[in-house]
A and B are shown apart, each in its own frame.
Chain A
Amino acid sequence: MEQFNNRNVAEGGYYLVDIEEYPTDGWGKFKRVVKRTFRGELFVGLWVVLREMIRFDIHTIQYPEEKMPIGPRYRAVHEMKRLWESDTERCIGCGLCEKICISDCIRMDTRIDENSRKEVTEYTINLGRCIFCGYCAEVCPELAITHGGEYENASDQREHFVDYEYMLTPIDVMKQNAQKEFEGFGAITPHEDERVKKTPLAY
């Protein structure tokens, strides 16, 4: 990681690529065309394809039969997580995702429930407007709304809504302890608790 954190281009292993001078006159340009045409570069490529075909070592992903594994920080269609302890929903209805959403595509309705707690009665994301920026996941204080790996959004209409039920981790997945935590922005960074100032307690 260290090497990437250093953004000073002047030092380290950077060097200028040797680029041929661009032709400035017509004759020069003509010469370059002739040179490139008869160099046979095309056949280099064709040969590689032929070689790999014969070897049967195909690198192309056979989408949609085959899919690439998605990185844990990939930001596709949102998911709503449940609490590990009780399997209940993490979302407390604070409305921060709704507020921070720069394309204004999140809306929620809340009410007070029978246990005097704030309950989210409805929650929608308009995927037609969502730009998958990840702010909602980052701002969520409960790690409730996150991004998932579901990127197949093709639809016959531009507006495509997902609601709370759709996004919520299914209870059977939860029972199998199969819920995946999101590791992108908004997730807890390692060693977070070492950096927190402890509040004194009188117990």
Chain B
Amino acid sequence: MSKIAINIDGKEIETQEGEYILNAARANDIFIPAICYLTRCSPTLACRICLVEADGKQVYACNAKAKDGMNITTSTETIEKERRAIMEVYDVNHPLQCGVCDQSGECELQNYTLEIGVDSQTYAVKDVDRSAHDWGHLHYDPGLCIVCERCVTACKDMIGDNSLKTIARGADPLNAEFKESMPKDAYAMWNKLNKSVIGLTNGTDVLDCTSCGECAAVCPVGALVDTHFMYKSNAWELTQIPATCGHCSAGCQISYDVKHTSIENPEDKIYRVMNEWNYVSLCGAGRYGFDYQNADVIKDEEAFEKAVEAFKKADTIKFTSTITNEEALILERLKEKFGYKLINDEAKSFQKFLHDYSDISGTRLYGSDLKEMMNSNFIVSVGTAIKTDNPNARYSLNNSLTVNKGAALYFHPLSDPIIDGLGKNILSVNHKPLQEESVLYLLLDLFADKEKLPKEITEYLASFHSMKTVTVTETIKEKVVEIVKEKKVNEETGEEEEVEVEKSKMVPKKVSKEVEVDDNRLLTILGINDKFNETLEKFLKKKDSFSLVVGPDLYNHPNSKNIARLVALLEKYSEFKLVMIPTLTNTLGVSLINELSDEAGSYSIGYNTKGDFTLSALGDGDLDMPAINQQEGTLTSINKRVNPTNQAIGYGGYELNDIAKALGLELEETIDYTKELPTHRGFSAVAFDDLPDYYTNAGEEIRGYVLKNMGRRVSADESVNTIDETLVMENDIIYLANPVRQFTDFTKKTTNLDEESGVYMSEESLSKSDFNEGDAVVVKTANGELTSKIVSDNKIAGDIVVLPTFDSNLNSEALVNGYRFATASIKKV
């Protein structure tokens, strides 16, 4: 990609080659009207309002690429006529219910109608019945819809659910004379608009998707609205509190829209969550899981005294990673001062994995991020149920597949219909649990530079290869000559006589051939069929940027050390750029800030987890703590970014820093710790109030700061262990993963996320088994057992039974030995 110079309306600007004119203009603060285009998605060409003149030719700015030296005029007389006609068309039959519409003025139809100055209507068409639909968590009003298809585009190009499409409107055709009298593009746009409305792809009237609500967020009018928000508040009354989503490690930019609860109750309440949808896409948990605050808390002095006593008595602090960096630092300072053991198993295993990885890579952190992954065109995912571990990683994967025409390999034991539904260019390999090492060896074999790779590894990889003879049936076309008798008129005699004529034709023929082919035993180990090589070859055509995403299955793998080294080797000796998915919200931050212990002591303080004395933001502990949406602080995301988050709603109780102060730590406010975050681990010494939080018009993320990837001196030892083929898991297997929209007890607490906790079985395996949905079952492993209800989940497939971790009452973690898979027996109660 090289830099080029183009001229828009007399202004010389610099942009990348191949950039769309619209994006180039936006990045340089030049306004071109556009409705249907979404940054990061492919152009839809529904609205046609972004017409510009490029080198004397009319083009659509959203899908015309800038060329060096191009001269662009954003407005000419004909273009203005088109735009005016387009906006008039959009206003045809649009109900005048702006007064009650939930878009309440944040409406692009309103804005452009006024911007273009539509003050009279020329066009008309008979309206059809366009009554509203209740699609579940969304409400669709076709009457208000302008069919810009932004929802369809977002669902297809960003989210990957492909749940929406345009369906027939059933309207009368347009009056034929409009074709003559109207500007060309406006007529074409209207002709299409008049034939379609938005509908669901599943054929029913209820959405069955991963419920992210991104379609409602991108809707320029009030056609698609979150059901929970309907007629609750006008947009202008809501104060937007910039924040970072606290549910997973993606660290999405969000804003909590708050307003007083009601006339009687002046306390702030969160009404909805919004995002900069051109640059960030939320999942259902981020969008709808906002009311997890620890409400109605007052300063309970007695409990506070007890807490301070407990801290004096304790030798261990257990905590989860749903805390801010500042709180993690406070815990670390307390540890330094009082010698507590800090226990956080999930962060500890990630920390260990990162450490083992850095032994070979020489850097403390993985090299890439989700944005780079989104821009690459070949992605491999290993060891993560990507859909639920980090929804944004899934969006990046899907965006790469659809917009970059990329391809992907998804290695995971649990087969996932959502991932398979992302497109044809993704291949799921459902290997067996514990085979992640084999997967990484296969990737080394396929993609690593064998000449640079340590010799032992190259030899080891070669040992899997052998030549085998296979019989290939090929269809070849053979020339067959036939002698046919034909009747012909003899020219001399004029009589008809039979003549023999030679005729040749091509006949397809099947031929079996014996061919020597390479046999890769790694494929056999992983249970991959012979077509794999063919598919991979097809996938790899025209691919030049590679991303590897690895996840939490690996961090707790019995051979996680070896796996971490393999991952590092793969990053080092292949073109793969690496992203690791931190297990929970701030696992990365905690693993960088805290020195964690393995074994707990005799008396423990639990922070958001059970301890002898429990501090809890869930409201069920001995002393209340503020939830993430009630405090200021920073969170470290998968993109290695330290993102600021702000307090959205009030909190009346004590916070961790109050205890720290009572115990003798000196900093007054929690956010005073922001600039104290350890710089030798890559943090920057920036005060909280100096952290920026916005996106530029060019889409550049200016939020907080990016961690420095600190180097480490490493030995030259790059040895790795071979595959232990005896390591297998048979029989009924359980896997710890959450359903979509759920992450922790905090998401469970919210009112809009109503996923049921239980034992998840795919519809397919449920129909094969003797179980029915709702049956109480006992799940028993070597480590323990639990009793819960069976829940049918159509977002998973195959036979593996999934147990959620978002419900701590279930305590599913106790059933496994760290590693997310385990052999289990499931019986009816």
Does chain A have a CB within 8 A of B731? no
Q: Contacts of A141 on B, CB cut-off 8 Å?
A: 99
Q: Contacts of A112 on B, CB cut-off 8 Å?
A: 230-231
Q: Contacts of B104 on A, CB cut-off 8 Å?
A: 95
Query: Whole-angstrom distance from the CB of A78 to the nearest CB of chain B?
Result: 16
Q: Contacts of A117 on B, CB cut-off 8 Å?
A: 100
Does chain B have a CB within 8 A of A200? yes
Q: Are A99 and B124 in contact (CB under 8 A)?
A: no
Query: Whole-angstrom distance from the CB of A111 to the nearest CB of chain B?
Result: 6
B324-350 vs A: 1/0 string, CB under 8 Å? 000000000000000000000000000
Query: Whole-angstrom distance from the CB of A93 to the nearest CB of chain B?
Result: 6
Q: Contacts of B236 on A, CB cut-off 8 Å?
A: 95, 99
Q: Contacts of A96 on B, CB cut-off 8 Å?
A: 99
Q: Are A109 and B132 in contact (CB under 8 A)?
A: no
Does chain A have a CB within 8 A of B234? yes
Q: Are B234 and A197 in contact (CB under 8 A)?
A: no
Q: Contacts of B231 on A, CB cut-off 8 Å?
A: 93, 110-112, 118-119
Chain A CB within 10 Å, residue with most, of B100, B104, B123, B132: B100
Q: Are A95 and B234 in contact (CB under 8 A)?
A: yes
Q: Contacts of B230 on A, CB cut-off 8 Å?
A: 112
Does chain B have a CB within 8 A of A17? no
Report the Cα distance A202→B92, complex, angstroms: 10
Q: Are A118 and B124 in contact (CB under 8 A)?
A: no
Does chain A have a CB within 8 A of B122? yes
Query: Whole-angstrom distance from the CB of A173 to the nearest CB of chain B?
Result: 25
Report which of A99, A142, A199, A200 forms a contact with B234, defined as CB distance below 8 A.
Answer: A99
Q: Are A94 and B263 in contact (CB under 8 A)?
A: no
Chain B interface size, as a band, is: 20 to 34
Report the Cα distance A118→B231, complex, angstroms: 6
Report the Cα distance A117→B120, complex, angstroms: 29
B residues 595-612 with Cβ under 8 Å of A? none
Q: Are B119 and A197 in contact (CB under 8 A)?
A: yes
Query: Whole-angstrom distance from the CB of A188 to the nearest CB of chain B?
Result: 16
Report the Cα distance A94→B96, complex, angstroms: 12
A residues 152-203 with Cβ under 8 Å of B? 197, 199-203
Q: Contacts of A109 on B, CB cut-off 8 Å?
A: 262-263
Query: Whole-angstrom distance from the CB of B625 to the nearest CB of chain A?
Result: 31
Q: Are B175 and A202 in contact (CB under 8 A)?
A: yes
B131-142 vs A: 1/0 string, CB under 8 Å? 010000000000
Q: Are A93 and B100 in contact (CB under 8 A)?
A: yes
Q: Contacts of A122 on B, CB cut-off 8 Å?
A: 262-263
Query: Whole-angstrom distance from the CB of B386 to the nearest CB of chain A?
Result: 36
Report the Cα distance A98→B124, complex, angstroms: 35
Q: Are B121 and A98 in contact (CB under 8 A)?
A: no
Does chain B have a CB within 8 A of A129? no
Work out how many contacts link A and B, with CB atoms closer than 8 A.
56
Q: Are B99 and A197 in contact (CB under 8 A)?
A: no
Residue of A nearest to B102 (CB): A118
B residues 108-135 with Cβ under 8 Å of A? 119-126, 132
Q: Are A200 and B123 in contact (CB under 8 A)?
A: yes
Q: Are B121 and A200 in contact (CB under 8 A)?
A: yes
Q: Contacts of B260 on A, CB cut-off 8 Å?
A: 107
A residues 116-166 with Cβ under 8 Å of B? 116-119, 122, 124, 141-142
B222-246 vs A: 1/0 string, CB under 8 Å? 0000000011111011000000000
Does chain B have a CB within 8 A of A108? yes
Q: Are B237 and A99 in contact (CB under 8 A)?
A: yes
Query: Whole-angstrom distance from the CB of A95 to the nearest CB of chain B?
Result: 4
Report the Cα distance A93→B98, complex, angstroms: 11
Does chain B have a CB within 8 A of A92? yes
Residue of A nearest to B227 (CB): A112
B residues 231-269 with Cβ under 8 Å of A? 231-234, 236-237, 260, 262-263
Q: Contacts of A116 on B, CB cut-off 8 Å?
A: 132
Q: Contacts of B125 on A, CB cut-off 8 Å?
A: 202
Q: Are A200 and B122 in contact (CB under 8 A)?
A: yes
Whether A110 touches B232, Cβ cut-off 8 Å, given contacts A93-B100, A116-B132, is yes
Q: Are A95 and B175 in contact (CB under 8 A)?
A: no
Query: Whole-angstrom distance from the CB of B645 to the nearest CB of chain A?
Result: 29
Q: Are A94 and B124 in contact (CB under 8 A)?
A: no
Q: Contacts of A94 on B, CB cut-off 8 Å?
A: 98-100, 234
Q: Contacts of B262 on A, CB cut-off 8 Å?
A: 109, 122
Whether A98 touches B100, Cβ cut-off 8 Å, given contacts A111-B231, A200-B122, is no
Report the Cα distance A203→B57, complex, angstroms: 39
Q: Are A124 and B263 in contact (CB under 8 A)?
A: yes
B residues 81-109 with Cβ under 8 Å of A? 98-100, 104
Chain A CB within 10 Å, residue with most, of B104, B175, B234: B234
Q: Are A92 and B263 in contact (CB under 8 A)?
A: no
B residues 39-70 with Cβ under 8 Å of A? none
Q: Contacts of B122 on A, CB cut-off 8 Å?
A: 200
Chain A CB within 10 Å, residue with most, of B120, B121, B263: B263
Report the Cα distance A112→B226, complex, angstroms: 12
Whether A95 touches B126, Cβ cut-off 8 Å, given contacts A199-B121, A202-B175, is no
Q: Contacts of B263 on A, CB cut-off 8 Å?
A: 107-109, 122, 124
Report the Cα distance A179→B278, complex, angstroms: 51
| Sample (27) of A-B pairs whose CB atoms are under 8 Å apart | A93-B100, A94-B234, A95-B104, A98-B234, A98-B237, A99-B234, A99-B236, A99-B237, A107-B263, A108-B263, A109-B262, A110-B232, A110-B233, A111-B232, A118-B100, A122-B262, A122-B263, A124-B263, A142-B99, A197-B119, A199-B120, A199-B121, A200-B121, A200-B124, A202-B124, A202-B126, A202-B175
The 9 closest A-B pairs by CB, nearest first: A94-B99, A202-B124, A200-B124, A118-B231, A118-B100, A112-B231, A199-B121, A95-B234, A202-B126
Known pairs A94-B100, A202-B124; list 11 more (Cβ under 8 Å): A92-B100, A93-B100, A94-B98, A98-B237, A99-B237, A110-B232, A197-B119, A199-B120, A200-B121, A200-B122, A202-B125
